[in-house]
Amino acid sequence: MRNTQQQSGAQVLRERLKNPEIIMAPGCYDCLSARLIEQAGFEAAFMTGFGASGSILGQPDYGLMTMNEMASVCANMNSILNIPLLGDIDTGYGNPLNVYRTVREFERAGMAAVHLEDQVFPKRCGHMEKKAVISMEEHVEKIRAAVEARDDMLIIARTDCRATHNMDEVVRRLEAYRDAGADIIYADALRNADEMRIVGSIPGVYKFANQVEFGKTPVMSADEIQALGFSVVIYPVGTVFTAARAMRSMLAELKANRKTKEDTGIMTTFSEYNAIVGMDALTAMEASYRVDEYKENMKQN
């Protein structure tokens, strides 16, 4: 857990990356899911644009979320998190000048690291079809702008070119992004362990893996991914997929039976939920400000 008065999330993440054990970062799409990730004991969380788009807009991850909307989600999460938060800044929302401003805004929102992808704008989820990428040279300039804009936040350079090119191009781009100053490199939607091994063997930079259930990359254990050369693995959609299915099940039951079951296994209890969202800490703070005494005095007067 980070001491927010001494270390930023970026500083904690930089120090943790020196340890060869892989960092597992489940996806959070709101403050409740972020709290649950930290309470489960994970060292980091990942702000998923896929989940945020569904939660905030009720829309797919199709480039519809704006920079300000995404930064606001991140700032809200960081206001309650004590672990590093990594996140998604899509294509940087424009050219290198837009990227520069985007990075400044996300660092101000408290992010430990952000990934910047080389898709055309507007982007789409990396595991959807019909992706297109900009030139490597153009994305190098965007990476340079991101590195110049940040103070301490780590820059993750992402390529989506496996959808349109072969692995030689994936490696060529990732090496160029590394040389442009990226701290971590990331190739999305790799198709098998052999392709992951190729990326994991690129020297001189940390490597970042993505595990999307029902996506294009095979689901593997964190230990297997670490053995392929990766330092960070994210699980961006598992939380939102689980939440969506559980809510749909509960609502179907309510519609069919015209009541819910208090003992249902898919719900927290009232007290469990209050514990998750920090009710005890809030009531203790309220007591320290003598709020109840003030209310009593108002009644007497």
Q: Is residue 53 part of a domain?
A: yes
Asked whether the predicted pLDDT for residue 255 surpasses 60, the reply is yes
Q: Is residue 128 part of a domain?
A: yes
**pLDDT score for 237:** 96
State the average pLDDT for the chain. 93
The answer to whether the beta carbons of residues 41 and 49 sit under 8 Å apart is: no
Q: What are phi and psi of 117, to 5 degrees?
A: -105, 160
Q: Which tokens go with 47?
A: 């702000």
User: pLDDT tens, 195-230?
Assistant: 999 999 999 999 999 999 998 899 999 999 999 999
**pLDDT score for 43:** 98
Same-domain status, 287 and 230: no
Model confidence at 126, in pLDDT bands (50, 70, 90)? low
Task: Count Cα atoms within 13 angstroms, Cβ side, for 239.
Answer: 27
Give the CATH number, domain containing residue 15. Answer: 3.20.20.60
Asked whether the predicted pLDDT for residue 41 surpasses 60, the reply is yes
User: pLDDT tens, 68-92?
Assistant: 999 999 999 999 999 999 999 999 9
User: pLDDT tens, 102-112?
Assistant: 999 999 999 99
Single-letter amino acid, residue 55:
S
| Cα distances (Å, whole numbers) of residue 143 to 96, 190, 233, 258 | 8, 21, 21, 54
CA 24 – CA 149 distance, rounded (Å): 27
CA 27 – CA 33 distance, rounded (Å): 8
The answer to whether the beta carbons of residues 106 and 71 sit under 8 Å apart is: yes
Same-domain status, 186 and 274: no
Query: What's 28-47 look like in SS3?
Result: ECCHHHHHHHHHCCCCCEEE
pTM of the entire structure? Answer: 0.93
Q: Range of 283's domain?
A: 268-301
Count how many domains the chain has.
Answer: 2
